[in-house]
Chain A
């Protein structure tokens, strides 16, 4: 199984779509992949999408490069922490840095993100506390952070369920009469879920201000996208009456342009947009997965050549911006973040038995109080409170 040059998920018949939209297998127009930076680091112009990133200065390009490098480092460090027994599990994002930073950096503070469990880079853009990022994966809490503090819901583990939350939130935005946008992230596999389809039906019906950001990383654990969809994922949106864009997900500028187009449409009352960011999951599904059992090493090699970070580095090099100062600076900030995250992880206090009663209801109630009281007395029956905690943990 290998992916084609443009990372196309659909049938071979779609290859060679030219400048103009051509009918696909079922008469659905086939979209051309939007790309602004080639894998070799060349900036290619695009009549439509250039406008959306013309404000990106050299300095900002450098900071995009920095953010992508930092989240890759976060990912590597968290993977190491899992191997060292400090985390129970970690879902790596290796290879998807441009998709996450390009979109995450396009959002406004009052936009609200509903993501899957892999959008740790998006969470980083939202300013999540690094320790909070790991809390759930260490098994220390059932949720990592206060969603309203960074306007990003805690990651959804149920595949695709967050799209419904986003559509509901977007309908709320309509009632509020503001121009913020709900953005939901999900993978190629999630598009096969009922939830995602329902969310798109409702979003279209209500013309809700929601962006469906589909990270097509080609693999739903071991299931290749080709088996799930015989047309490009972006083309599915047409069936819901939702306009869609198909971008090179390893191209940070293209992702940014597409996200801005979608956000702008939503803010102006134009309703939902579906973005398919075509990228590749370079690592395993999670640290408990072994992708060599189901995919071809050649495929990995093909995609390594399209690495999102090296192409920005190549572009900076062409522009003469990839100085050793910049590289040192980026390396230092990645090291600092990794160090801070590791420290936060290994020094995280253990949760207390009574913590399970927190965050269940928004307000206290007598029923819960009673349970809490019973549980406290039960724990107290062990005498040593610390011992009681240990016994609980042992089970």
Chain B
């Protein structure tokens, strides 16, 4: 027989989770408690152990999809009495249909709610509906004793017409109110009320899709989206027909992307950025790099231009401490750090992160090389501990690895400076009074003009440039 496994509430009170990966494929034989998938909730990444011993018949959701709690995610073929749940147990046997009886692509029979399991309340509202999130109210399980307004079939149809034109809003108002159990004010949660207030949304106009008509964050966001879409569409007529969604892809703003966006906006609009550029002949640095790579002390270490540039930054910071500081708005003080936690922007599978190397100023070149390699590996595998992501004092972003020369980096919030390293290129360059083919790199430095004046910023950049142009110059600096 076929048994379905529905996504459970993996935390306390979660409504959805993202399937990160399947560890099994259709046709695989699995044992009880064998890990079948990796799932990310708002709280954690967890492994799902198989609830049955049997053969995987169908994987209902692709990796990367966000699945509502209670939706079937995988079907098993199990021997008739091999299952762990007894026959007829509500939670697991309900909604089960023999594989042959269900046409491909057809929605599984609308499951009944499963009152015995916490977190399964969401099923009522969502399952059996189209994959698109329902935007209207009637399918909300209005408790029978609290439904003063009967929803007539006509109204239901009106509500089902989800084409986002402006008119139906009136209809929605009525329905939304009908779903509000006590009629005092629309049911929602404090953070969602704040979101609505911030965007000037009257919650009474927003249909709630949560349990018993609760207005969720998504509802408000969708209302805003529909509002703007409707406005945009109104003059043009039918621009936003539901059928042709393929022409654009909508990705929910969340996770690292969301944090990055918030950090960038806050940085760009609180710290007045100044960016300076300096192009340097780094041939001596590249020669030094080649020499060090061959030396015994650095055997097995990963040495890159970034390693030496990072060291140059650390040395230059010592002479220009204002670039290693923080604007403390609350206490109206400038905090100058006597240590350096060196942030390195890293592109990870989940987005941009800026882990930092603690007390980088005290590291030898070997230790720095090691720390940089470790930091990159950890970031790429997505295992950077939170402590490494906070407390940075100054950052480097290595855009050169993408073959880029220069840019205007945005400061990591709370830091005074960020240096972008360009690609090292062979270029015709002035050398001893003649044009020669030299290894050249552009440095782009952004700094917070509240903390750093043009003079200090320029001196710092010149120092870094001088070291990279002639590493021996360090002797004059330390």
**Is B a genuine binding partner of A?**
yes
In the complex, chain A residues whose CB is within 8 Å of the CB of B91: 85-86, 346
Contact at A394–B124, with CB atoms within 8 Å? yes
Interface size class of B (residues with CB under 8 A): 35 or more
| Contact with A83, one of B46, B121, B211 (Cβ below 8 angstroms) | B46
* CB <8 Å contact, B89 and A347: yes
Q: Which residue of B lies closest to A76 (CB)?
A: B33
CA separation between A77 and B91, bound complex, in Å?
18
Contact of B118 with A139 in the complex, beta carbons under 8 Å: yes
Q: Which of A76, A350, A394 contacts B113 (CB 8 A)?
A: A394
| A342 contacts chain B at the CB level, 8 A cutoff | yes
Q: Considering only CB atoms, which chain B residue lies closest to A342 in the complex?
A: B84
Contact between chains at B11 and A391 (CB < 8 Å): no
Please, how many angstroms separate the alpha-carbon atoms of A138 and B86 in the complex? 17
What is the bound-complex CA distance between A294 and B388, given in angstroms?
11
| Residues of chain B contacted by A84 (CB below 8 angstroms) | 5, 8, 48-51
Does B385 belong to the interface (CB within 8 Å)? yes
Of all chain B residues, which has the CB nearest A88? Answer: B118
Contacts of A140 in B (CB 8 A): 116
Counting CB contacts under 8 A, is A80 at the interface?
yes
Q: Which chain B residues border A138 with CB–CB below 8 Å? A: 116-118
The 0/1 profile, CB within 8 Å of A marked 1, for residues 53-94 of chain B is 000000000000000000000000000000011100111100
0/1 interface trace, chain A 366-395, chain B, CB 8 Å (1 if under)? 000000000000000010000001111111
Contacts of B386 in A (CB 8 A): 293-294
- A288-B143 in contact (CB<8A): no
Residue contact A288 to B51, C-beta cutoff 8 Å: no
Classify the interface of chain B: helix, strand, loop or mixed. Answer: loop
Q: Which residues of A contact B414 (CB under 8 A)?
A: none
A343 CB-CB contact with B under 8 Å: yes
A68-125 residues at the B interface, CB under 8 angstroms: 76-77, 80, 82-86, 88-89
What distance in Å separates the Cβ of B167 from its nearest Cβ neighbour in chain A? 32
Chain A interface residue count, CB cutoff 8 Å, equals 39
Q: With a CB–CB cut-off of 8 A, which chain B residues contact A290?
A: 43-45
What is the minimal beta-carbon distance from B345 to any residue of chain A, in angstroms? 21
Contact of B117 among A86, A288, A343, A394 (CB under 8 A): A86
Q: Which residue of B lies closest to A381 (CB)?
A: B145
A389–B144 CA distance with the chains assembled, in angstroms:
12
Chain B residue numbers with a CB within 8 Å of A1 are 387
> Which of B242-290 touch A at CB < 8 Å?
none
User: Which residue of chain A has its CB nearest to the CB of B120?
Assistant: A85
A297/B12 in contact, CB under 8 A: no
B115:A288 contact, CB within 8 angstroms:
no
Which one of A85, A284, A286, A392 lies within 8 Å of B8 (CB-CB)? A85
Query: Using a CB-CB cutoff of 8 Å, which residues 82-132 of chain B contact chain A?
Result: 84-86, 89-92, 112-113, 115-121, 124
Most chain B CB neighbours (cut-off 10 Å) among A139, A292, A346: A346
Interchain CB contact (< 8 A) of B48 among A83, A89, A296: A83
Query: Please, how many angstroms separate the alpha-carbon atoms of A142 and B85 in the complex?
Result: 23
User: Residues of A contacting B12 with CB < 8 Å?
Assistant: 88-89, 286, 288
CB-contact partner of A292 in B121, B141, B144, B385, under 8 A: B385
Q: Hey, which chain B residues are within 8 Å of A296, CB to CB?
A: 385
- A to B contact number (C-beta, < 8 Å): 108
B143 touching A292, Cβ below 8 Å = no
**For residue B52, which residue of chain A has the nearest CB?**
A84
Distance from B29 Cβ to chain A, minimum over Cβ atoms (Å): 18
A residues near B47, Cβ cutoff 8 Å:
83
Tell me whether B10 is interfacial, beta carbon within 8 Å.
yes
Contacts of B296 in A (CB 8 A): none
Is B9 interfacial (CB 8 A cutoff)? yes
Write 11 A-B pairs (CB below 8 A) sorted by A numbering.
A85-B6, A140-B116, A287-B46, A293-B44, A297-B383, A346-B85, A347-B89, A350-B90, A394-B121, A394-B143, A395-B121
User: CA A140 – CA B48 in complex, angstroms?
Assistant: 23
Question: When chains A and B are docked, how far (Å) is the Cα of A86 from the Cα of B7?
Answer: 11
B368 at the interface (CB under 8 A from A): no
Cross-chain contact A394 with B89 (CB below 8 angstroms): no
Instruction: Determine if B212 is an interface residue (Cβ-Cβ < 8 Å).
Output: yes
Given A294-B386, A343-B84, A346-B84, residue A85 in contact with residue B45 (CB < 8 A): no
User: Are A350 and B115 interface neighbours, CB within 8 A?
Assistant: yes
Q: Are B115 and A390 in contact (CB under 8 A)?
A: yes
Does A289 interact with chain B (Cβ within 8 Å)? Answer: yes
What residues of chain B lie closer than 8 Å to A89, measured between beta carbons?
Answer: 12
CB distance from A295 to the nearest CB of B (A): 8
Cβ contacts under 8 Å, A294 to chain B: 386
B123 to chain A minimum Cβ distance, whole angstroms, is: 9
Of the residues A77, A80, A297, A393, contact of B115 by C-beta under 8 Å: A393
Q: Across the two chains, which residue of chain B brings its CB closest to A284?
A: B44
CB distance from B122 to the nearest CB of A (A): 10
Q: How far is the CB of A283 from chain B (nearest CB, A)?
A: 11
Bound-state CA distance A38–B47 (Å) is: 33
Report whether A83 and B84 are in contact in the complex, using a CB–CB cutoff of 8 Å. no
- State A304–B46 Cα separation when bound (angstroms): 20
Determine if B10 and A287 form an interchain contact, defined as CB atoms under 8 angstroms apart.
Answer: yes
CB neighbours (8 Å) of A393 from chain B are: 113, 115-116
| Residues of the A chain whose Cβ atoms lie less than 8 Å from the Cβ of B84 | 342-343, 346
Q: Is the CB of B212 within 8 A of A395?
A: yes
Q: A355 to nearest B CB, angstroms?
A: 13
Smallest beta-carbon distance A369→chain B, Å: 23
Q: Are B5 and A289 in contact (CB under 8 A)?
A: no
Q: Chain B contacts of A284 at CB under 8 A? A: 44
- CB contacts (< 8 Å) of A382 on chain B: these are 144
Evaluate whether A350 and B116 lie within 8 angstroms (CB atoms) in the complex, with A83-B48, A85-B8 already known.
yes
CB distance from B374 to the nearest CB of A (A): 12
A329 → B minimal CB distance (Å): 21
Per the bound structure, the CA–CA distance linking A138 and B211 in Å amounts to 20
